[in-house]
Amino acid sequence: MKLAPLIALEVVALLLIIGETYLFFAAIIPLGPVPHDVADYTATTLLKVALTFGLGLLWLAVMVSLTRLYVRSKVRTLTPTASS
């Protein structure tokens, strides 16, 4: 099955999206009640934005590393060998 690594890459991407969506709605959004002070509200909002950005970077890092691993494995197996 030559497509198995690509299917696995897509399954990992889907699982990461589902997991990070759950983390976003279960952990980041309900970080507490909305503060009525402007400084506290700004700090909470910036924390939520930073955590959301971190989830995006995590997804990107995992996908780039898995793609590089897949490409390296294909380049290594497709390297021609000398016939003599």
Q: Which residues contact 12 (CB under 8 A, 6 or more apart)?
A: 62, 63, 66
Closest C-alpha to 28, from 63, 56, 67, 65: 56
Contact 80, 16 (CB under 8 A): no
Q: 0.85 exceeded by the pTM?
A: no
Predicted confidence pLDDT, tens digits, the chain (84 residues): 788 989 999 999 999 999 999 999 998 888 777 788 999 989 988 999 999 999 999 999 999 999 999 888 888 766 667 776
Contact 51, 20 (CB under 8 A): no
Q: Is 17 helix (H, G, I), strand (E, B) or coil?
A: helix
